[in-house]
């Protein structure tokens, strides 16, 4: 499918009125339509009426430099291509708005070649964006198909198998092979339903727009831990405490929820990712030791699995790949966690732990502005809260340590 590109490319020249516009129009001929904007404000008023323009800044503008002008315009129109023209001896630090840097003096016809190259670049960008939109639509349809069509058929299989078991069990011997086969069909159907749900979650994380907000990871982690205590089948079946260590740097010991672990992001996606990471190790190893810590200008959510087997670092590099089962599970849980981290500008990693097993980390950049607004001082202590599940409920114990 061809992208909609104007037959004649449009060039907006942002200048203070001293550039040789007539000479430029003569050089470009009928291949381009040239608009002149006198300064940034004029350019911002002209651009909305133009379709995917090329923007040329031929010199430094007072009081703003040309690269800053293009950066500001790019924040208003992400689809423009910015060209910055400077004398050969003028240094510049290119911003996101600068796609092509042109140095003067120019040979005859060189400017036209630069603009033609920019037009081709824009056409390629438009084609790439169109392809990305089509892929996104396909992923959306695939997700809907998994969650409705496939899941509906699987639920029907599980329901029919369960009905057969209910009707036939009173009529057959306990060790009847037919009952065993039907029970296996029901179990396989339930596992496939769970797999379809996980794959749908991954597709949703890959395509759903991230709802920007400020999320407190400390509070989110406490919610994840509390929910795991109450509802996770592995913990519900255990009769011994399963420790989860909670070690935030900026934590007020008297109030475990008073944290400064602020990160920008989508609360629903982040909550699901943390719960998935904890749940993965509860299901595969039976234990998850969780820590939240400050690492420079980022917050790191770490899970140690205490696995009896430790993989070398080279193999752990593939732990978060889709359908990779190196660390057990269905091959989707860790891939989902990695996708959510990627969508938030974060990263995931898996490393061998010095005391055995592995540590998996989920790191997100801090919301610096939110912390500056809401947290005026940094506590000089770090504290640890150990939360253990017991038959009678949840027990909290805090240990305060000077940093």
Regarding beta strands 81-87 and 100-104, do their DSSP bridges make them parallel or antiparallel, or are they unpaired? parallel
Strands (E), 10-156: 10-15, 33-38, 54-57, 81-87, 100-104
Beta bridge partners of 186: none
pLDDT by residue (tens digit) across 390-400?
Answer: 223 333 333 33
Question: What pLDDT is stored for residue 273 in this prediction?
Answer: 92
Three-class SS of residue 175?
coil
Question: What pLDDT is stored for residue 93 in this prediction?
Answer: 65
User: Cα–Cα distance between 83 and 68 in angstroms, integer?
Assistant: 12
Question: What pLDDT is stored for residue 349 in this prediction?
Answer: 93
User: Cα–Cα distance between 382 and 63 in angstroms, integer?
Assistant: 47
- In the chain, which stretches have pLDDT less than 50? 1-6, 239-242, 246-258, 369-403
User: Cα–Cα distance between 364 and 131 in angstroms, integer?
Assistant: 29
Q: Do the beta carbons of residue 203 and residue 148 sit within 8 Å?
A: no
Q: Do the beta carbons of residue 384 and residue 253 sit within 8 Å?
A: no
The dihedral built from the CA positions of residue 207, 211, 217 and 221, taken in this order, carries a sign that is negative
CB neighbour list of residue 347: distance below 8 Å, 6 or more residues apart = 341, 363
Q: Is 195 exposed, middle or buried (0-12, 13-18, 19+ CB in 10 A)?
A: middle
Question: What pLDDT is stored for residue 385 in this prediction?
Answer: 31
Q: Do the beta carbons of residue 50 and residue 43 sit within 8 Å?
A: no
Residue 376: both structure tokens together? 């005026």
Residue 289: both structure tokens together? 């030791």
Residue 175: both structure tokens together? 């060790």
Question: What pLDDT is stored for residue 394 in this prediction?
Answer: 34
Closest CA to 46 of 14, 20, 78, 16: 14
Question: What pLDDT is stored for residue 357 in this prediction?
Answer: 86
Q: Do the beta carbons of residue 39 and residue 124 sit within 8 Å?
A: no
User: Cα–Cα distance between 140 and 137 in angstroms, integer?
Assistant: 5
User: Cα–Cα distance between 358 and 117 in angstroms, integer?
Assistant: 50
- Whether the ω angle into residue 63 lies within 30 degrees of 0, i.e. cis, is yes
Question: What pLDDT is stored for residue 20 in this prediction?
Answer: 63
């Amino acid at each position: 499918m061809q992208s909609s590109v104007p037959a004649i490319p449009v060039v907006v020249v942002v200048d203070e009125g001293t550039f040789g516009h007539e000479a430029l129009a003569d050089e470009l001929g009928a291949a381009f339509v040239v608009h002149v904007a006198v300064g940034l404000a004029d350019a911002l008023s002209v651009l909305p009426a133009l379709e995917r323009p090329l923007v040329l800044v031929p010199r430094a503008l007072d009081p703003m430099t040309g690269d800053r002008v293009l950066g500001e315009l790019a924040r208003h129109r992400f689809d423009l291509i910015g060209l910055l023209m400077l004398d050969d001896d003028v240094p510049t630090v290119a911003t996101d708005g600068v796609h092509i840097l042109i140095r003067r003096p120019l040979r005859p016809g060189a400017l036209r070649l630069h603009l033609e190259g920019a037009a081709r670049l824009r056409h390629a960008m438009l084609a790439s964006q169109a392809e990305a939109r089509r892929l996104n639509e396909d992923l959306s349809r695939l997700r809907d198909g998994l969650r409705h069509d496939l899941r509906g058929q699987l639920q029907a299989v599980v329901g029919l198998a369960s009905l057969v078991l209910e009707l036939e069990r009173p009529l057959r011997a306990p060790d009847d092979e037919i009952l065993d086969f039907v029970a296996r069909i029901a179990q396989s159907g339930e596992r496939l339903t769970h797999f379809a749900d996980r794959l749908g979650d991954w597709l949703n994380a890959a395509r759903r727009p991230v709802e920007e907000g400020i999320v407190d990871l400390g509070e989110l982690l406490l919610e994840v831990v509390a929910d795991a205590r109450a509802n996770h089948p592995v913990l519900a079946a255990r009769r011994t405490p399963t420790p989860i260590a909670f070690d935030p740097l900026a934590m007020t010991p008297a109030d475990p929820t008073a944290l400064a672990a602020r990160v920008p992001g989508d609360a629903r996606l982040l909550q699901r990712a943390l719960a998935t990471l904890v749940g993965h190790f509860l299901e595969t190893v039976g234990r998850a030791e969780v820590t939240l810590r400050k690492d420079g200008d980022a917050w790191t959510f770490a899970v140690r699995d205490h696995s009896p087997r430790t993989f070398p670092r080279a193999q752990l590099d593939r732990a978060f790949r889709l359908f990779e089962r190196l660390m057990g599970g269905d091959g989707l849980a860790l891939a989902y966690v990695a996708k959510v981290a990627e969508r938030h500008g974060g990263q995931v990693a898996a490393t061998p732990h010095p005391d055995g097993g592995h540590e998996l980390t989920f790191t997100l950049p801090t919301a610096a502005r939110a912390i500056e607004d809401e947290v005026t001082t940094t506590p000089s202590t770090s504290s640890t809260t150990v939360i253990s599940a017991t038959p009678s409920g949840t027990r909290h114990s805090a240990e305060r340590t000077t940093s």
